[in-house]
Amino acid sequence: MKTLRLIGTTLLMVVLCLNFTACGDDDDDDSSNPLVGVWQNDDEGEHLRWTFRNDGSGEEHLFYDDDSESYTYQFTYTYDSKSSTLIINYDDDDTDKYTININGNTMTAKNEYGTEITYKKK
């Protein structure tokens, strides 16, 4: 009888352990791509917002404080984390290349002409 109880207890423990290890994190965030999300630059009077999605698509949106004008461009992008290089391909066949530095919720994007823009993650 002791042997039967020991086998039953052992099987119960194995089943409980398997149940706990089967539960995992179901978040859709891709930790290997720190760009995914919404990034916004807040210059005086105007705001440039980049939205990066997991599937390599995104959009650029410029808007002004006085709502005088705004535009939105769709794009696809590639990001190489080893070289910190971001390449954005717009729908109108225009391509921009940036060197990216991400520190927490702050991203600095330096274009091929040396101009730097600082974005905050929203």
Q: What is the pLDDT along the chain (122 residues), one digit of tens a residue?
A: 666 565 656 655 666 555 555 554 444 444 578 999 999 998 778 889 999 999 999 999 998 877 777 899 999 999 999 999 999 999 888 999 999 999 999 999 999 999 999 999 99
> Residue 44's pLDDT is what?
78
- Angle among Cα 51, 119, 89 to the nearest 5 degrees reads 45
* Residue 35 zone, left/alpha/beta (φ > 0; ψ -120 to 50; rest): alpha
Please tell me whether residue 4 adopts helix, strand or coil conformation: helix
**Which pLDDT belongs to residue 46?**
85
* pTM given for the model: 0.70
| Cα–Cα distance list, 12 to 6, 16, 68, 96 (Å) | 10, 6, 68, 59
pLDDT for 21 equals 55
Q: What is the pLDDT of residue 53?
A: 97
Q: What is the pLDDT of residue 42?
A: 82
Q: Domains, the chain, ranges and CATH?
A: 37-121 (2.40.128.50)
Which pLDDT score is estimated for 27?
A: 45
